[in-house]
Structure 1
Amino acid sequence: SDAPQIRGVTKAAVMSDRAGGPARRRRTTTSDWGAASRGKGPDAGPKVPRCHVLQESLLSSASGYSNYRGILNWCVVMLVLSNARLFLENIIKYGILVDPIQVVSLFLKDPYSWPAACLIIGEDLRLRASCEEEADLTAGTFSETSGWILHIFNLLFMLVFSSVTVLTVPSLTPVGGVLSLGVYTVLFLKLYSYQDANRWCRESRQAEAKRPNVANGSAVRSHVSYPGNLTHRDMYYFILAPTLCYQLNFPRSHRIRKRFLMRRLFEMLFLMQLLVGLIQQWMVPTIQNSMRPFQEMDFSRMVERLLKLAVPNHLIWLIFFYWFFHSSMNFVAELLQFGDREFYRDWWNSESVTYFWANWNIPVHKWCLRHFYKPMLRRGINKFLAQTFVFLLSAFFHEYLVSVPLKMFRLWAFMGMMTQVPLAWFVGRYLNGNYGNAAVWMSLIIGQPIAVLMYVHDYYVIHYGSSS
């Protein structure tokens, strides 16, 4: 008789076929072991409950586990506690620095002189003139070439006139200059889109006039058709609407949701006060204490000040993003019953720099895509060069909005935007997934404070260096 075998053989079982063939061994399987524990199979034994199965550890990638909500909550709690300590330390060290009255002085030097408001209101004449120019082009008063030259002159005059006014009017504060130039930049982009879209309508109308006219049902009276859109009412609706791209018929919501409107209004008021408080209480002291290490070129202290400034700066930037792109733009859209509410996408999941810039500011992205990027592609320019020109345009307006109000030209904002081009290439080529997302977050958290410190240092040296 055969002795029982161990490790893989049940027992040297002698199995003869009906003709009395030779014996052969049979290996055990997983089912045999399971059957044995239940009192079945070739190795049936005492009934012992199983407590082990084939499985991976929960944090292993092979486990397929993905519910980390508790860890996310832990991160939020740690973040709140860490910032609460910083806030308490700030209060103990500096006291209460929040002063709402001081905010008024940032916009006005003289309560009887409102240069920024006058500069913005004066642009109304140019809006009316643009509408009349489009009507004259439709009527054939002057040629398309003459109209194009006139449009370009008007747009360039907007930028030059606003810049000269900010640089030469002494009663205009830097904050008032940023506000007025920001409005002029938005109007520049809107008027460019308005004139571009109406030119496309004229070209389409001329092309249709050459085709045989075939009736196809009745016209839809609820929609505006060219040139019926060339009215002041239509122009002002587009100017106030939260979009930079003009079209004849915007999607409209059916009614104004009063509760939604009041929630957005409350968010706007609360977050604005929070932004002002954080800037006065947290940002300003940190920036003031950063000037001496920059003057002494103490590299280690400079890095420490930069990292200390990164936290409040990034928090303020995130709050500003929510205040502007969600609360304010949704408030205006709801008030005007503007239907397209896609003002941002999931930029926080960006795994590349290009994805971030294409998704964090949808109105600007749509304008660049429609009026700048695609026209260059149609003219035969390759994609990389077209993207570089888009970043170049963005860098120009970033520098325009910072250097002109501060009345100093250092090109820090311009260079910061242009460094996004090689950074986008590097992240897209060598990093992906979580590593790419981390690189995007690092550029946002560290890059902005560097530019802030550069401008504040230069402004401090120019205006207060001699007195210190």
Structure 2
Amino acid sequence: MGDSDATGGLALRRRATFAVGKSASLLPMNGKSAAACESSVTADSSKDHGQGKRDRPLETARSKTSSEKQQRRSDVSERLSCHKTQESLLSSASGFNNYRGILNWCVVMLVLSNARLFLENLLRYGVLVDPIQVISLFLKDPYSWPAACLVIVSNAFVLVALYTERQLSKGSFTELVGFLVHCINMAIMLTLPAAVVLLVPSVTPVGGAFVVGTYTILSLKLYSYKDVNMWCRELSSVKAKKLSRSLSCPSAQHLNGGDRKVCYPGNLTIRDMCYFVCAPTLCYELNFPRSANIRMSFLMRRLFEMLFFTQLLVGLTQQWMIPIIQSSMKPLEDMDLSRMTERLLRLAVPNHLLWLMFFYGFFHSSMNFSAELLRFGDRQFYKDWWNSESVTYFWQNWNIPVHKWCLRHFYKPLLRRGFSKIVSQSAVFFLSAFFHEYLVSVPLRMFRLWAFMGMMAQLPLAWFVGRFLHGTYGNAAVWISIIIGQPIAVLMYVHDYYVLQHIQEAD
């Protein structure tokens, strides 16, 4: 028993010694404190955290690698795919607007269709172009040319207007007397050519149209001449120096270079009046913008275009227009509606082509020719009327000289007098309708009011298009009114003239 107890005690002591040794191995060596031990433990834990931080870039690199793999997979799928979200080109949502090929196709189709019509015309009627016949329209009764004489007489009215303005500038005439003289002068200008054309049988319709058009242009020019000089006198009377310089004479910094500028009343000279009469404008200014020099190449190109389009207009009228008009008389007399519609559509194409040629030949070629010859700087004789989305926009931009005159001397004065915009706009259309009828009815020596009613019909048409049609549909409506409206008026006047001539021949 004793031995066994001794042996058990020895074993217990050995276990205790082992436990103490084990705990001693956990204590700091060399007498370090427990705090140092704790710091070492903390350092070990921080090392563990540092190791975690070093592991994070590895994880980021792995994620980047996976994202790059996904990107490569998506790139591969995109390379292999052939579809994406997009609209059809003819849809408005696509934003596509390059239809140049379609425009070229329309031009080719137009040329081919008109070539077929022209060939059919040649096969049916033969060659009808006769330049001698056109010359005879101007040189009929060569020893008595009333049309040419009337054009020469028009210079007297210009001199009367200049003399009146000189007397007004000196104070010899009162404003009322000057106004009455101008009114009488312009009234005679509009009535004298009409009376001569209607009463003198030797005046041809072509010569009558030329004379009436010349006198109409001169009357509008002299009205503008009267207004501008009156404005200059009013500004001088109130001594508005800044405004008077802006209207009549520029400031000194503009006088150093360029042409010599004039101030009122230094503009009241024969040279100034002659320049204004010949200039391609209806609105008078004391100092017109001038170009630096005359470009001979530009001048010769415009002259060639004038001659070419004049010959082309005459040839197409004789070869294409006249046979269709002559074949339309019988359906008009019989009131055959279906054949009248067919003749109208046949006449629409050549009439529209001739109108386009006239527009280019007159508003671009001839007006640029005269502007270049006179070094007239303002060459904006028309704007983009072909893009008109409303009837009002068309009438404002296809004939800029007339539009400027109406706006400056008729529309704005009505607004200043208290009239509304609708009334003023209607008055402008009424004035335009009057001159359209005047320019057509007087040379033909008959009054049917077709041109007048056609112009006044533009008011409800403008309201309808502006209210219900916009964008492309509005532009199409404007083109249809131009292409169809003009042949209707042509047929009406030609039919009435044909009937009137037959009645006179029967009598």
Any residues of structure 2 matched to 1:374-389 within 5 Å, and which? 374-389=412-427
**Contact (CA 8 Å) 1:108, 1:173: kept in 2 or not?**
no
1:220 is the counterpart of 2:255 = yes
Question: What secondary structure does 1:243 align onto?
Answer: coil
Deviation digits for residues 156-200 of structure 1, max 9, x if unmatched? 111111111111111100110000000000000000000111011
CA distance in 2, matches of 1:293, 1:339: 50
Q: Which of 417, 421, 424 lines up with 2:462 in the alignment?
A: 424
Aligned match of 1:5: none
Question: What secondary structure does 1:53 align onto?
Answer: coil
Question: What secondary structure does 2:239 align onto?
Answer: helix
Q: Which of 97, 118, 126 lines up with 2:149 in the alignment?
A: 118
Structure 1 unmatched runs, 5+: 1-31
CA distance in 2, matches of 1:346, 1:267: 21
Aligned match of 1:3: none
Aligned match of 2:377: 339
Question: What secondary structure does 1:234 align onto?
Answer: helix
CA distance in 2, matches of 1:34, 1:395: 76
1:219 Cα deviation from its structure 2 partner: 8.9
Instruction: State the TM-score, normalized to the length of structure 1.
Output: 0.88
Letter in 1 for 2:425: Q
Say what the alpha-carbon RMSD is for the aligned residues: 2.3
Letter in 1 for 2:421: K
Q: Which of 424, 429, 433 lines up with 2:471 in the alignment?
A: 433
CA distance in 2, matches of 1:302, 1:329: 37
1:242 is the counterpart of 2:273 = no
Q: Which of 184, 200, 214 lines up with 1:183 in the alignment?
A: 214
1:130 is the counterpart of 2:161 = yes
Deviation digits for residues 253-294 of structure 1, max 9, x if unmatched? 000001100100110010110000010000000000000000
Question: What secondary structure does 1:208 align onto?
Answer: coil
Aligned CA distance change for structure 1 residues 219 and 314 (closer, same or farther; 3 Å): closer
1:52 Cα deviation from its structure 2 partner: 2.4
1:106 Cα deviation from its structure 2 partner: 1.8
Aligned CA distance change for structure 1 residues 288 and 46 (closer, same or farther; 3 Å): closer
Aligned CA distance change for structure 1 residues 91 and 140 (closer, same or farther; 3 Å): same
1:447 Cα deviation from its structure 2 partner: 0.5
Aligned CA distance change for structure 1 residues 176 and 382 (closer, same or farther; 3 Å): same
1:171 is the counterpart of 2:209 = no
1:467 Cα deviation from its structure 2 partner: 5.7
Question: What secondary structure does 2:383 align onto?
Answer: coil
**Contact (CA 8 Å) 1:325, 1:343: kept in 2 or not?**
yes
Aligned match of 1:18: none
1:445 is the counterpart of 2:483 = yes
Aligned match of 1:317: 355
Question: What secondary structure does 2:185 align onto?
Answer: helix
**Contact (CA 8 Å) 1:350, 1:356: kept in 2 or not?**
yes
**Contact (CA 8 Å) 1:267, 1:327: kept in 2 or not?**
yes
1:67 Cα deviation from its structure 2 partner: 1.3
* Mean Cα deviation higher: 55-64 or 395-404: 55-64
1:64 Cα deviation from its structure 2 partner: 2.0
Any residues of structure 2 matched to 1:8-87 within 5 Å, and which? 38-39=72-73, 49-87=80-118
Q: Which of 482, 486, 493 lines up with 1:455 in the alignment?
A: 493
1:147 is the counterpart of 2:178 = yes
**Contact (CA 8 Å) 2:324, 2:343: kept in 1 or not?**
yes
CA distance in 2, matches of 1:443, 1:396: 20
Aligned match of 1:391: 429
Aligned match of 2:333: 295
CA distance in 1, matches of 2:435, 2:465: 25
1:209 Cα deviation from its structure 2 partner: 7.8
Deviation digits for residues 417-444 of structure 1, max 9, x if unmatched? 0000111111111111011111100110
Q: Which of 94, 105, 122 lines up with 1:91 in the alignment?
A: 122
**Contact (CA 8 Å) 1:38, 1:48: kept in 2 or not?**
no
Letter in 2 for 1:421: L
**Contact (CA 8 Å) 1:38, 1:47: kept in 2 or not?**
no
Question: What secondary structure does 1:123 align onto?
Answer: helix
1:36 Cα deviation from its structure 2 partner: 5.8
Letter in 2 for 1:81: L
Aligned CA distance change for structure 1 residues 458 and 39 (closer, same or farther; 3 Å): closer
CA distance in 2, matches of 1:133, 1:174: 34
Question: What secondary structure does 1:249 align onto?
Answer: coil
1:352 Cα deviation from its structure 2 partner: 0.4
Aligned CA distance change for structure 1 residues 134 and 35 (closer, same or farther; 3 Å): farther
Letter in 2 for 1:190: K
**Contact (CA 8 Å) 1:283, 1:313: kept in 2 or not?**
yes
**Contact (CA 8 Å) 1:97, 1:280: kept in 2 or not?**
yes
CA distance in 2, matches of 1:436, 1:247: 36
Aligned CA distance change for structure 1 residues 34 and 186 (closer, same or farther; 3 Å): farther
Letter in 2 for 1:430: F
1:105 Cα deviation from its structure 2 partner: 1.9
Deviation digits for residues 38-70 of structure 1, max 9, x if unmatched? 4479xxx99972222222233332222221111
Aligned CA distance change for structure 1 residues 293 and 47 (closer, same or farther; 3 Å): closer
1:210 Cα deviation from its structure 2 partner: 10
| Identity percentage of aligned residues | 67
Aligned CA distance change for structure 1 residues 169 and 60 (closer, same or farther; 3 Å): same
Letter in 1 for 2:293: R
Aligned match of 2:132: 101
1:159 is the counterpart of 2:190 = yes
Aligned CA distance change for structure 1 residues 38 and 419 (closer, same or farther; 3 Å): same
Instruction: State the TM-score, normalized to the length of structure 2.
Output: 0.82
* Mean Cα deviation higher: 422-431 or 361-370: 422-431
* Mean Cα deviation higher: 52-61 or 73-82: 52-61
CA distance in 1, matches of 2:159, 2:384: 38
Letter in 2 for 1:160: T
Aligned CA distance change for structure 1 residues 165 and 465 (closer, same or farther; 3 Å): closer
**Contact (CA 8 Å) 2:160, 2:185: kept in 1 or not?**
no
Question: What secondary structure does 1:340 align onto?
Answer: coil
CA distance in 2, matches of 1:268, 1:466: 37
Question: What secondary structure does 1:66 align onto?
Answer: coil
Greater per-residue helix proportion: 2
**Contact (CA 8 Å) 1:290, 1:305: kept in 2 or not?**
yes
**Contact (CA 8 Å) 1:108, 1:172: kept in 2 or not?**
no
